[in-house]
């Protein structure tokens, strides 16, 4: 397998020539990746998810296209966490590298921007890290999203905490001013108010914020029972540390989605204790998969053997994006965009990630929301009941 990697300093399509035609042997998957810049950690996780999928499929001979085995080839470029560069890279992948299928960049905002290009050229794009409904309400026919909508997450969270902490009445919401964090914060406000909770604080912060003391002081003065913060992992690390500096205590502290990643607890240490979060996937769900890996647990075992750590929902979603493309190609018995697109819209894919049904708008319609909490340095599933690994612990440490 030949994998194309590059960090693009400048794009000049006029001087670039198309890569040699090798469609007879391989199926190219175009992947814009945030390997540098503020999204580099998420970009690296996405790449690991794609890589393990491509390796696993190629190790078993490749994708069966109407009786002919074809290997997968990941054609990837670093868009340096810049939306405009991601758009340029997708244009290059389509026009120069001639990829028939795309994997989206990280996040709802960059996915929405690049999906416009994929739609213009009729190239199916599968998004592994976009959950915001406004990404999918453009009625594009070529965009497909593994993550189910944000409101499925927030409805599950509100229902869980209302049941298990009836004294939670007042909610404070703090979100990064970016598409996904704002969107899931907005859904939290709707879910909370719809359940009769009082949202006493609701604001956004800018991406360059490094001092949260003023906003946290405001929140402390309002005495909320539940703080819901959403943003990049590094932001949430800062927020958690500065909460401790201010002695800000709360019955429930939810952060989306930083605590799902080991980097969060590795950085805040004991302050991670009892922080709650949510997730789209966990290996303990243990869905079966007859095409790759066998099950969620076996996928995580393979991931751990390759990368020396457990997979988070982000790597798993990236693998599932790649896998569903391969399954759709096999079902279509063709690499034709029209044939594969039809299968992606119509088929339910039973994968290690869980059932995936892209539906009319392209976003996964199967709800498998998880409520989770860090306890004794481990991320435990609290809900749904059939996957529960522990009981909710109330309160978070005030001091480091």
**How much is the pLDDT for 359?**
86
Mean pLDDT, range 134-154, rounded to an integer: 96
Which phi and psi angles does 370 have, rounded to 5°?
A: -115, 140
Superfamily grouping for domain 13-148+283-357: Response regulator (3.40.50.2300)
> Burial of 360 by CB count in 10 Å (0-12 exposed, 13-18 middle, 19+ buried)?
exposed
Asked if residue 151 has pLDDT above 80, the reply is yes
> 185-224, pLDDT tens digit by residue?
999 999 999 999 999 999 999 999 999 999 999 999 999 9
Q: What is the pLDDT of residue 53?
A: 98
pLDDT at 91: 98
Residue with the two structure tokens 């490094």: 210
When pLDDT is averaged across residues 93-111 and rounded to a whole number, the result is 97
SS3 annotation, the chain:
CCCECCECCCCCHHHCCCCCCCCCCEEEEEEEECCCCCCHHHHHHHHHHHHHHHHHHHHCCCEEECCEEEEEEEEEEECCCCHHHHHHHHHHHHHCCCCCEEECCCCHHHHHHHHHHHHHHCCCEEECCCCCHHHHCCCCCCEEECCCCHHHHHHHHHHHHHHHCCCCCEEEEEEECCHHHHHHHHHHHHHHHHCCCEEEEEEEECCCCCCCHHHHHHHHHHCCCEEEEECCHHHHHHHHHHHHHCCCCCCEEEEECHHHCHHHHHHHHHHHCCCEEEECCCHHHCCEECCCCEEHHHHHHHHHHHHCCCCCHHHHHHHHHHHHHHHHHHHHCCCCHHHHHHHHHHCEEEECCEEEECCCCCECCCCCCEEEEEECCEEEEEECHHHCCCCCCCCCCCCC
Examine residue 257 and say whether the peptide bond preceding it is cis (omega within 30 degrees of 0).
yes
Whole-number pLDDT of residue 399: 75
CATH 3.40.366.10 fits 150-279+369-387, yes or no: no
Share of the chain above pLDDT 90, in %: 90
Confidence of residue 5 (pLDDT cuts 50, 70, 90): very low
Q: Above 70 in pLDDT, residue 9?
A: no
Give the pLDDT confidence score for residue 305 in this predicted structure: 98
pLDDT at 24: 45
Beta-carbon contacts of 256 under 8 Å, excluding residues fewer than 6 positions away, are 153, 181, 184, 228, 229, 230, 277, 278
The reported pLDDT for the residue numbered 78 is 98
To the nearest whole percent, how much of the chain has pLDDT over 70? 94
CA distances 165 to 252, 253, 322, 383, Å, are: 9, 12, 39, 14
Residue with tokens 């405001």: 218
pLDDT in tens, 227-284: 999 999 999 999 999 999 999 999 999 999 999 999 999 999 999 999 999 999 999 8
Q: What is the pLDDT of residue 286?
A: 83
Across residues 101-124, what is the average pLDDT? 97
Given a cut of 80, whether residue 107 has pLDDT beyond it is yes
Average pLDDT (128-134) is: 95
Positions of CATH 3.40.50.2300 in the chain: 13-148+283-357, 150-279+369-387
Average pLDDT over residues 87-106: 98
Compute the mean pLDDT over every residue in the chain, rounded to the nearest whole number.
93
More confident residue, 284 or 37: 37
pLDDT of residue 16: 34
Residue 175: per-residue pLDDT: 98
pTM: 0.87
Confidence band (pLDDT; 50, 70, 90) for 356? very high
Residue 27 has pLDDT above 80, yes or no: yes
């Amino acid at each position: 397998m030949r994998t194309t990697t590059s960090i693009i300093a400048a794009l000049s399509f006029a001087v670039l020539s198309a890569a040699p035609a090798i469609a007879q042997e391989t199926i190219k998957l175009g992947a814009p990746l945030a390997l540098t810049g503020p999204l580099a950690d998420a970009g690296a996780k996405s790449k690991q998810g794609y890589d393990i999928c491509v390796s696993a499929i190629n190790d078993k001979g490749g994708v069966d296209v109407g009786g002919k085995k074809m290997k997968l080839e990941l054609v990837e470029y670093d868009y340096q966490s810049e939306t405009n560069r991601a758009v340029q890279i997708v244009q290059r992948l389509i026009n120069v590298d001639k990829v028939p299928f795309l994997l989206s960049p990280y996040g709802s905002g960059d996915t929405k921007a690049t999906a416009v290009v994929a739609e213009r050229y009729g190239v199916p794009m599968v998004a592994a890290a976009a959950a915001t409904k406004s990404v999918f309400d453009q009625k594009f026919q070529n965009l497909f999203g593994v993550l189910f909508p944000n409101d499925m997450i927030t409805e599950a969270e509100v229902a869980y905490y209302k049941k298990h902490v009836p004294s939670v009445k007042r909610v404070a919401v703090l979100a990064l001013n970016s598409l996904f964090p704002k969107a899931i914060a907005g859904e939290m406000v709707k879910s909370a108010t719809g359940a009769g909770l009082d949202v006493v604080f609701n604001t956004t912060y800018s991406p360059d914020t490094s001092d949260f003391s003023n906003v946290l002081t405001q929140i402390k003065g309002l005495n909320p029972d539940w703080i819901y913060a959403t943003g990049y992992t590094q932001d949430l690390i800062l927020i958690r540390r500065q909460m401790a500096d201010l002695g800000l205590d709360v019955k429930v502290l939810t952060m989306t989605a930083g605590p799902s990643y080991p980097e969060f607890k590795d950085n805040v240490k004991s302050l991670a204790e009892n922080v709650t979060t949510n997730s789209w996937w966990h290996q303990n769900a243990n869905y079966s998969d007859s095409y790759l890996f066998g099950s969620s647990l076996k996928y995580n075992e393979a991931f751990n053997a390759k990368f020396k750590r457990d997979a988070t929902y982000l790597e798993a979603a990236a693998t599932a994006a790649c896998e569903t493309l391969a399954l759709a190609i096999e079902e279509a018995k063709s690499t034709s965009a029209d044939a594969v697109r039809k299968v992606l819209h119509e088929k339910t894919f039973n994968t290690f990630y869980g059932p995936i049904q892209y539906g009319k708008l392209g976003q996964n319609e199967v709800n498998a929301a998880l409520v989770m909490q860090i306890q004794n340095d481990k991320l435990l599933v609290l809900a749904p009941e059939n996957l529960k690994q522990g009981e909710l612990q109330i309160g978070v440490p005030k001091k480091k």
